[in-house]
């Protein structure tokens, strides 16, 4: 095992039913946020943090995502023949030392199942998971030091898996995995970590609890760094909430045998998988980009 995190798994197999009709024939991950598809920012975030191998877990209708990260030779030739070299270069922005591969999930059995599908490529290495519905704000966050980059560094030092969390409003706790930790510790730590990421031990997680059952208001944001042993637990995880194999259940099992920490999120994030927040995010990204022109 290598303690350096160089792989990132991005599950892209969801149908995006909350984004219909936009997502009927275009994968929701390719819907625009300003002038780029949403997944562009997620892959940029991973690369800025130091990831070299991106593994997309998708299905047959998602091959347009893989194409987005490949060179379109015909388009490239045509642009260069017309003297538009700068535009052609801007489309080939993926660094030479970064690879993007895609495997298929087969059956839609849940997030945990999708992550397990990446095992043949990730092997016995630690890895990151980025859920592409969640887009961290690239205009206010330094992606080469904060959040995922911080979690990767923290893992390399402690060998503790890291789960990014952020406080959410009471009416939203039922949409997320919610962290269980000692109340006093939680309040004290959060109060002290407003301007930097901080990482501390977690007791467990509850997937999509009601407000009454929620152990805190700290929600799993959709960025994870895992020790490779998570695959062993995923392989044993039975379907639970929503009839799906939940990543949260495998994390709970991992916590019983090795250290797992939550990392508090710095900056803000957007939910690009929900129509209302997607439209708000689109306007924000477009305004930022128009003001930079
Ligand atoms: C998934 C995870 C959940 C997490 C959420 C973040 O849920 O299961 O723990 O809080 O992503 O967006 P999903 O939104 O896929 O239902």
Average pLDDT of the chain to the nearest whole number: 93
Domain residue limits, the chain: 7-291
CATH superfamily ID and name for 7-291: Spore Coat Polysaccharide Biosynthesis Protein SpsA; Chain A (3.90.550.10)
> How much distance in Å is there from the Cα of 72 to the middle of ligand 1?
33
Name the pLDDT band for 191 (thresholds 50, 70, 90): low
Task: List phi, psi (to 5°) of 96.
Answer: -60, -30
**pLDDT range class, residue 196, cuts 50, 70, 90:** confident
Strands 260-264 and 161-167: parallel
Instruction: Kindly state if the Cβ of 245 falls inside 6 Å of ligand 1.
Output: no
Mean pLDDT throughout 230-245?
93
C-alpha to C-alpha distance for 62 and 266, rounded to whole angstroms:
31
The CA 171 to ligand 1 mean position distance, Å, reads: 15
The response to whether residue 244 sits with its C-beta less than 6 Å from ligand 1 reads no
Shortest-distance Cα residue to atom 15 of ligand 1: 111
Distance 39 CA to ligand 1 centre (A): 17
Query: 188 pLDDT exceeds 80?
Result: no
For residue 204, CA distances in Å to 124, 192, 218, 261, 268 come to 24, 22, 12, 10, 24
pLDDT digits (tens, 9 = 90+) for 146-167: 999 999 999 999 999 999 999 9
| Residues linked to residue 219 through DSSP beta bridges, in sequence order | 166, 178
Tell me the percentage of the chain whose pLDDT exceeds 90.
Answer: 85
How many angstroms does the Cα of residue 133 sit away from the middle of ligand 1?
9
**231 Cβ below 6 A of ligand 1:** no
Taking the alpha carbons at both ends of the chain, their separation in whole angstroms is 46
Q: How confident is the model at residue 193 (pLDDT cuts 50, 70, 90)?
A: low
pLDDT confidence of residue 18: 94
Give pLDDT tens digits for 37-56. 999 999 999 999 999 999 99
DSSP the chain: --SS--EEEEE-----GGGTTTTTTS-GGGSEETTEEHHHHHHHHHHHHT--EEEEEE-GGGHHHHHHTS--HHHHHHHHHTT-HHHHHHH--S-TT-EEEEEE--S---HHHHHHTTHHHH-SS-EEEE-TTEEE-TTTS-TTTSTHHHHHHHHHHH--EEEEEEE--GGGGGGSEEEE--HHHHHHHHHH-TTS--EEE--EEEES--TTT-S-SEEEEEEEEE-TTHHHHHHHPPP-GGGS--HHHHHHHHHTTS-EEEEE--S-EEETTSHHHHHHHHHHHHHHHHHH-
Tokens of 116: 């397990």
**Selection from 130, 146, 149, 218 nearest residue 182 by Cα:** 218
Q: Which of 59, 49, 177 has its CA nearest to residue 113? A: 59
CA neighbor of 176 nearest in space, from 267, 274, 93: 274
pLDDT at 192: 56
| pLDDT recorded at residue 125 | 97
Q: Taking residues 108-120, report their average pLDDT.
A: 96
Is the Cα dihedral 235, 99, 67, 37 positive or negative? Answer: positive
What percent of the chain is predicted at pLDDT more than 70?
A: 95
**What's the pTM?**
0.94
Q: Is 198 or 48 the better-scoring residue by pLDDT?
A: 48
Cβ atoms of residues 39 and 47 within 8 Å: no
Find out whether 221 and 134 touch, Cβ atoms under 8 Å: yes
Q: Does ligand 1 come within 6 angstroms of the Cβ of 219? A: yes
Question: Which whole number is the average pLDDT over 54-63?
Answer: 93
Q: Is the CB of 222 under 6 A from ligand 1?
A: yes
């Amino acid at each position: 095992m290598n303690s350096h995190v160089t792989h990132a798994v991005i599950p892209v197999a969801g149908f995006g039913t909350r984004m219909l009709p936009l997502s009927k024939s275009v994968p929701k991950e390719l819907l625009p946020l300003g002038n780029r598809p949403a997944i562009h920012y997620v892959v940029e975030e991973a690369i800025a943090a130091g990831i070299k191998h991106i593994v997309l877990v998708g299905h047959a209708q998602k091959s347009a995502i893989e194409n987005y990260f490949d060179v379109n030779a015909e388009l490239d030739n045509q642009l260069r023949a017309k003297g538009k070299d700068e535009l052609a270069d801007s489309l080939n922005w993926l660094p030479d030392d970064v690879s993007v591969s895609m495997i298929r999930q087969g059956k839609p059995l849940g997030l945990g199942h999708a992550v397990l599908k990446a095992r043949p490529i990730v092997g016995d290495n630690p890895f990151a998971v980025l859920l592409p519905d969640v887009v961290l704000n690239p205009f206010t966050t330094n992606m080469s030091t904060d959040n995922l980059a911080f979690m990767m560094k923290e893992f390399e030092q402690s060998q503790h898996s890291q789960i990014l969390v952020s406080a959410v409003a009471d009416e939203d706790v039922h949409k997320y995995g919610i962290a269980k930790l000692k109340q006093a510790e939680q309040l004290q730590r959060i109060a002290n970590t407003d301007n930097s990421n901080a990482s501390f031990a977690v007791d467990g997680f509850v997937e999509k609890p009601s407000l009454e059952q929620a152990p805190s208001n700290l929600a799993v944001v959709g960025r994870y760094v895992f020790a490779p042993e998570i695959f062993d637990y995923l392989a044993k995880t039975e379907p639970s909430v929503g009839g799906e194999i939940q990543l949260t259940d495998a994390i709970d099992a991992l916590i019983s045998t090795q250290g797992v920490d939550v990392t508090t999120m710095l900056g803000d994030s957007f939910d690009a998988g929900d129509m209302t927040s997607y439209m708000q995010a689109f306007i924000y990204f477009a305004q930022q980009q128009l003001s930079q022109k």
